[in-house]
Structure formats: C-alpha cells, structure tokens
Amino acid sequence: MPAAHDSLLERITIDADVRFGKPCIRGHRITVQEILEWLSSGASQQQILADYPQLQPDDFLAVYAYAAELAAGSN
C-alpha cells in the first residue's frame, strides 16, 4: 500500500479504555462504525463535520482506508 494509505490509517486509534476498544478517529470517542453508519444513512461529510467540528476532512479518508483494509481481510 502507498505511504499515504498508511498515514491515513494512523488516524484510526484503538484503545481498550475508549469506546470498549472500537476503532475511533484520532483518539476521539467517534467510532469508524458511527461515521460509516451516518454516511450510509445519507448524511454528507459536510453535515457530519458541522455536527462534529473536531473531525477533519482527512478523517473520512481514514475511515474509507480502514474499511478497505477490513474488506480485504487485512485486519
């Protein structure tokens, strides 16, 4: 995988003390699963960013990269 992909994956953190160890965005309590659910329910990135200003646009790319890794069976 390209280095850009790896640097995106660094935005995904897993800490047993945060949200029961679910993958989260940069140590925040917002999980990868929540973002994917919001997007699949029709929310736009702009709407999510407005509701959660601690997120950054690249966090969405990190979520997609993480989901791609899971789909490929790499995690």
Residue 44 to residue 71: CA distance in whole angstroms: 22
Q: For the segment 12-56, what is each residue's pLDDT rounded down to a tens digit?
A: 999 999 999 999 999 899 999 999 999 999 999 999 999 999 999
What's this model's pTM, rounded to 2 decimal places?
A: 0.88
- 60, 8 contact by CB (below 8 A): no
Q: Which of 25, 22, 29 is nearest to 65 (CA)?
A: 25
Top-level class of domain 3-69 = mainly alpha
Q: For the segment 52-64, what is each residue's pLDDT rounded down to a tens digit?
A: 999 999 999 999 9
